[in-house]
Amino acid sequence: MPLPRTSAVAALLAGALLASVAGCAAQDPASGSGATPPGPADCAAGALPTRTAGTLTVGTDKPAYEPWFSDDRPENGKGFESAVAYAVAAKLGYPREKVSWVVTPFGKATAPGPKDFDFDVNQVSISAERREAVDFSSGYYDVRQAVIALKSSRAASARSLADLKGVKLGAQVGTTSLEAITGTVRPSVQPAVFDSNDLAKAALRNGQVEALVVDLPTAFYITGAEVTEAQVVGQLAGGGGDEQFGLVLDKGSRLTGCVSAAVDGLRADGTLARLEKEWLSDAVSAPVLR
């Protein structure tokens, strides 16, 4: 759903950001570098020290998957992460026409080195290891990992982690989904690792793997729209704030505190919950595999 474009709304959003930043006592411990929180002057609406003056540059991977984006077009404002990105931009004083998108592969976003974006939004989970190379905003989504399998597979009948021990599992490289396999499921069979979820889905269809681990909203979308012969087997124990997606920024970015303040404001005023309900409402429940 497109965000309001009027200058009056932009001014109100900018004022809300300045108020929230002024009231900050400390930066969220998960938000990045741990630098001194910004003051109101540092987060001047629409005048942040961005890569391009007057423009906020947002990165994400291609293809941009449902339900996080829609029609592989991050710029259309549809899908949970596209909507979150525009909501954050508005809080920072950048209306939709002042937001520019760049393609940034998942692995490159969290790798050391200069970035070609002001922040990246791409289902990147906050972790201590990743924080060594990049900054993170406050978390904007509480993540749950899930297992999907073809309905005809023995994995489809799994009711516990023990039932998955001998199953050939797969996940995208560099993701917390893969970490969940090795750290939570701990199968006796070496998991398969794929460069993208598209390759993982193809492997599931042709029997190279028996099941995939992905985040829960993606699991519901894959089984509902892409691999309809598959089903959500269950979710892995955890979540509820144990794992969160965060916006990625360059290490030591001058924008980290401002972006975190914007995310915190969107959580406090109910915007994140509203967007989650609008775009991720199907991913509401699945049995927990313990």
CATH number at 265 reads 3.40.190.10
Mean pLDDT of 239-266: 91
Mean pLDDT of 201-212: 97
pTM of the model as a whole: 0.78
My answer on whether 119 and 28 are in the same domain is yes
43 or 33: which leads in pLDDT: 43
My answer on whether 56 and 189 are in the same domain is no
pLDDT above 90 for 245? yes
69 or 36: which leads in pLDDT: 69
My answer on whether 230 and 249 are in the same domain is no
pLDDT the model gives residue 230: 97
My answer on whether 215 and 99 are in the same domain is no
Residue 89 in any domain: the answer is: yes
Mean pLDDT of 70-85: 98
pLDDT in tens, 90-139: 999 999 999 999 999 999 999 999 999 999 999 999 999 999 999 999 99
pLDDT above 80 for 215? yes
pLDDT above 70 for 283? no
Which tokens is 272 given? 């994140």
pLDDT the model gives residue 160: 96
The rounded distance, in Å, linking the Cα atoms of 57 and 51 is 7
Burial 61-98 (b: 16+ CB within 10 A, else e): beebbbbbbbeeebeebbbbbbbbbbbbbbbbbbbeeb
Residue 1 in any domain: the answer is: no
My answer on whether 157 and 224 are in the same domain is yes
Q: Where is the domain boundary, 236, 262, 278?
A: 236
Mean pLDDT of 199-203: 97
The rounded distance, in Å, linking the Cα atoms of 231 and 254 is 44
My answer on whether 120 and 47 are in the same domain is yes
Mean pLDDT of 44-51: 94
- Mean pLDDT score of the chain, rounded to an integer? 86
Which tokens is 214 given? 């992905």
My answer on whether 22 and 121 are in the same domain is yes
My answer on whether 62 and 158 are in the same domain is no
pLDDT above 80 for 238? no
pLDDT the model gives residue 237: 80
My answer on whether 118 and 220 are in the same domain is no
pLDDT in tens, 165-194: 999 999 999 999 999 999 999 999 999 999
pLDDT the model gives residue 281: 75
pLDDT the model gives residue 286: 86
- Provide the domain limits for residue 59: 7-141+245-289
Mean pLDDT of 217-240: 88
Domains identified in the chain, total number:
2
The rounded distance, in Å, linking the Cα atoms of 290 and 75 is 39
Q: What percent of the chain has pLDDT over 70?
A: 83
Structural element, H or E, at residue 256: helix 256-268
Residue 120 in any domain: the answer is: yes
My answer on whether 227 and 192 are in the same domain is yes
C-alpha 282: how far from chain center: 17
pLDDT the model gives residue 52: 97
pLDDT in tens, 2-42: 443 333 333 333 344 333 433 333 334 344 444 445 544 48
My answer on whether 91 and 120 are in the same domain is yes
Q: Would you give the end-to-end CA distance of the chain in angstroms? A: 37
60 or 36: which leads in pLDDT: 60
